[in-house]
Amino acid sequence: MIDINLIRENPELVKANLKKKFQDKKLPLVDEIAELDKRKRALQAEGDNCRAMRNTLAKNIGLLMRDGKKEEAEEAKRISKENNDRVARIEEETAEIETRLKTAMMSIPNIIADDVPVGRDDSENVQGKVFLEAKEKPFDVPYHLDILESLGGIDLDAARRTSGNGFYYLTGDIARLHSAVLNYARDFMIDKGFTYCIPPYMIRSDVVSGVMSFEEMEGMMYKIDGEDLYLIGTSEHSMIGRFMGTVLSEDSLPQTLTSYSPCFRKEKGAHGIEERGIYRIHQFEKQEMIVICKPEESEDWYEKMWNYTVELFVSMEIPVRQLICCSGDLADLKYKSCDIEAWSPRQKKYFEVGSCSNLTDAQARRLGIRYKNSKTGKNEFAHTLNNTVVAPPRMLIAFLENHLQPDGTVYIPEVLRKYMGGKSKIELKN
């Protein structure tokens, strides 16, 4: 949610931002918000005057009664009642306007960074830096599910019987590799100075509406029937929610946290959920990183965070690139974002394995996350950022394709061997 002062002082900037995001249908909202805000402030001023008058009238009534001026006292009571009735109507109308204003404000996207490329959708995202040489294999690389099955590492048929499409059982060395990658990612981030956390896997609706837009919530979140609880789609949701309604001390910033969690997603409208494989699934596990910092630090942290993910993948000898998200591909709360994509030798192209986002103060405004500025003495909104360290289902695809050997075995890089009991490869199974 943006600062209301932007609409008061520079509505054309907000409208220009909507156009960059190809959300022209929201342009009338800017003027609607301005009118609602103007009416709200007028009501507040009138309400303050009425409440001041109420105190004066109450005092005068007492004096008139004391002096025996009953007729004048009765007239003062009548005026006082009319005044009190007006206060009640003002408060009722103000509450209604505040509700409308909040709903409208939460539909206005964050102001995007100047260096975000303007584009309508993900087809217009821009390639950034490339890390490690993307090499083609001297043999045909099978589909990742065929590799998993040849290694005795997956059972989709049983998962369909127990849970339906979009679920899987991982077994044997593949299940161990899945855990090894998560454990390595955890230790990697701890070595970077991040604090390791395991958060709640369910959050209340006020946290959900604080961390994402309504459109995202509808397309992602599973709701628990009969409870004000949702399953998290990423640990970022509950990790940021942890600071809801708090005022942090300046010397406690930045908060640098890395969290593990299972993640649950509807994948509503996603293509391929019925297809073979584990690219789009309803349940997976992930290591995440979250930063809460002062506004002047968020640009630097954004660069650090996506580079940490690159460093992790490079250490596992997987070629990756940065893909800069264009304006139309940014979720409403995002100031800027980039994807990290891994090389697929089978498809001979890159595919997404993680995403890094700077949300500036948009998320903090929704959740009321502030810090006390030592220079101004005021409580100001912090900036929040999040980034995928690693999400093994997609990462497993990149890992298997890049480390598959001609004999069908899979090479294990040095950094993972201590998490795999010293194994240097995963063998074929009958």
pLDDT band at 276 (very low <50, low <70, confident <90, very high): low
**Cα–Cα nearest to 346, from 390, 399, 385:** 399
Q: Find the mean pLDDT for residues 45-67.
A: 79
* Residue 106, token pair as written in the block: 């939460």
Burial group, residue 187, by CB count within 10 angstroms (0-12, 13-18, 19+): middle
The DSSP annotation for 121-176 comes to SGGG-EEEEEES-----SSPPPPHHHHHHHTT-EEHHHHHHHT-TT--EE-HHHHH
Percent helix, strand and coil across the chain, each to the nearest 5: 50, 20, 30
pLDDT band at 66 (very low <50, low <70, confident <90, very high): confident
* Residue 86, token pair as written in the block: 């007006």
pLDDT band at 53 (very low <50, low <70, confident <90, very high): confident
Question: Which residues have a Cβ under 8 Å from the Cβ of 320 and sit 6 or more positions away?
Answer: 130, 131, 132, 309, 310, 313, 314, 340, 341, 342, 343, 350, 353
Topology of domain 4-105, CATH: Helix Hairpins (1.10.287)
Inter-residue contact 278 to 145 (CB < 8 Å): yes
Residue range 222-270, pLDDT digits in tens: 999 999 999 999 999 999 999 999 999 999 999 999 999 999 988 765 5
pLDDT band at 70 (very low <50, low <70, confident <90, very high): confident
Inter-residue contact 379 to 298 (CB < 8 Å): no
SS3 195: strand
Q: What is residue 143's predicted lDDT score, i.e. its pLDDT? A: 94
CA 408 to chain centre: 39
Residue range 177-197, pLDDT digits in tens: 999 999 999 999 999 999 999
Q: What is residue 242's predicted lDDT score, i.e. its pLDDT? A: 95
Inter-residue contact 266 to 219 (CB < 8 Å): yes
Q: What is residue 273's predicted lDDT score, i.e. its pLDDT? A: 44
Inter-residue contact 94 to 61 (CB < 8 Å): no
Is residue 275 scored above 60 in pLDDT? Answer: no
Residue range 346-402, pLDDT digits in tens: 999 999 999 999 999 999 999 999 999 999 999 999 999 999 999 988 999 999 999
Percent of the chain with pLDDT over 90: 79
Quick count: other Cβ atoms within 10 Å of Cβ 74? 13
Domain edges within the chain: 4-105, 122-426
Burial group, residue 113, by CB count within 10 angstroms (0-12, 13-18, 19+): middle
* Residue 334, token pair as written in the block: 């995002």
**Cα–Cα nearest to 189, from 290, 284, 87, 303:** 290
Is residue 81 scored above 90 in pLDDT? Answer: no
pLDDT band at 198 (very low <50, low <70, confident <90, very high): very high
Is residue 35 scored above 80 in pLDDT? Answer: yes
122-426 shares the fold of 4-105: no
How many CA within 13 A on the CB side of residue 109?
28
pLDDT band at 417 (very low <50, low <70, confident <90, very high): very high
Element (H, E) at 371: strand 370-372
Q: Find the mean pLDDT for residues 92-115.
A: 94
Q: What is residue 274's predicted lDDT score, i.e. its pLDDT? A: 42
- The Cα–Cα gap between 185 and 389 comes to 7
Question: Which residues have a Cβ under 8 Å from the Cβ of 197 and sit 6 or more positions away?
Answer: 235, 239, 257, 258, 259, 260
**Cα–Cα nearest to 277, from 140, 393, 188:** 393
Topology of domain 122-426, CATH: BirA Bifunctional Protein; domain 2 (3.30.930)
Burial group, residue 81, by CB count within 10 angstroms (0-12, 13-18, 19+): exposed
- The Cα–Cα gap between 333 and 208 comes to 13
CA quadruple 328, 1, 249, 252: dihedral, nearest 10: -20
Q: What is residue 61's predicted lDDT score, i.e. its pLDDT? A: 72
- The Cα–Cα gap between 384 and 356 comes to 11
SS3 78: helix
Burial group, residue 208, by CB count within 10 angstroms (0-12, 13-18, 19+): buried
